[in-house]
Every structure is written in C-alpha cells, then in structure tokens.
Amino acid sequence: MQAQESPGWHGTTILTVRKGGKVVIGGDGQVSIGQTIVKANAKKVRPLGKGEVIGGFAGATADAFTLFERLETKLEQYPGQLTRAAVELAKDWRTDRYLRRLEAMMIVADREVSLVLTGTGDVLEPEAGVMGIGSGGNYALAAARALFDGPLDAEQIVRRSLDIAADICVYTNRNVTIEALDAK
C-alpha cells in the first residue's frame, strides 16, 4: 500500500514592478491546503532592513519567515547592500542542511535593485523590473508586462495585475497587501 501524500500548501501571488521612480511589491492574502482555503488575509509582503528593503514571499509560511529573519541578519551584516546580503543568504540557503529543506521563494527590493531568491541558490534580477512568483505569479507577471507601457503607475499596475491573477488562479484572492519605496 502506498503512503498518502499530504496535500500541498498553495498560496500566493507576489508581484513586483519598478516604474516611474517607484518600486512596488504586492501580494494576495490567500493560504490554501489542497482545495481548502485556510486563511484569506495572510500578510506576505512587508518592510525589511529598517524600512530600506521590501519583500514578499511565496511558499510555506514558517519557511518564509525563517528566510526573512535570515535576510534581516544579512542586511545588518551588509547595510545598504541588498545584492550582497541576498547572495550570502542564497549561499547559506543552498548549503546549510536545515535551510536547504525550506520551501519558499522571495522577491526583495530596495531603491536600486529588485531580486528573486530561490532555494536553489538563484539570485535573479527581473527583466524590465517586473517579476511574479507563487501560484498565480505567471498570471500577474503576464498582466503586468501587458500594462507596463501604458499610463498606469507601478502601484496601479501591481493592483490591477493581482486582480487579474485572482480572476484566473484559484489560489489567489483579492485581499492585497502593498509595500512601496521611492526608487533611484
């Protein structure tokens, strides 16, 4: 007899847009286990590094909070150097036995750079300042790319794109959290 797999945690859509002197990260609030919504108002986007960095996560919540704490520590070690802090976190994430088991992805941004961090050691700067992760990330990303050259500002693009993702992805809702920074 085969062991039953536990239902996977699904939940989230995180999107970043850098446009017109602003960088914005937004995320929905839904957390699901299998086909059941267990929380509709999770806050998966927050300020980091004394407010100089913003970040959002997709994946297991406890894992993401562990990674946020580790990133905060790296930001204290390398103040004002988000890329360096992210690379150091990615090295730890890939090589540390405990961290290697964490299942989450993160988007982080400061005034100069936006980055996607993964458990495989990737630290990626999104093309054209737009990136989505999570269950509905590709839907939000496609919408943001389509809206980018139009009249909407960065926050309006994030809000509209997350709304479009919620129309398509059953693991995405309209309970949105937004964080923004003025970009250089």
Q: Is residue 105 within 8 Å of residue 117, measured between CB atoms?
A: yes
Give the residue numbers marked as catalytic: 12
What is residue 11's predicted lDDT score, i.e. its pLDDT? Answer: 65
Domain ranges of the chain: 9-176
Per the structure block, which two tokens stand in for 93? Answer: 């994430």
pTM of structure: 0.91
Q: What is the pLDDT along the chain (184 residues), one digit of tens a residue?
A: 444 444 444 568 999 999 999 999 999 999 888 888 888 998 999 999 899 999 999 877 777 788 888 899 999 999 999 999 999 988 887 776 666 566 778 999 999 999 998 877 789 999 899 999 999 999 999 999 999 999 999 999 999 999 999 999 999 999 999 999 998 7
Integer Cα distance of 83 and 112 in angstroms: 10
* CA-based nearest residue to 26, from 148, 132, 145: 132
* CA-based nearest residue to 26, from 34, 36, 37, 18: 18
CATH of range 9-176; options 3.40.630.30, 3.60.20.10, 3.40.50.11740, 3.30.70.270: 3.60.20.10
3-state DSSP assignment of residue 65: helix
* CA-based nearest residue to 119, from 81, 83, 88, 91: 91
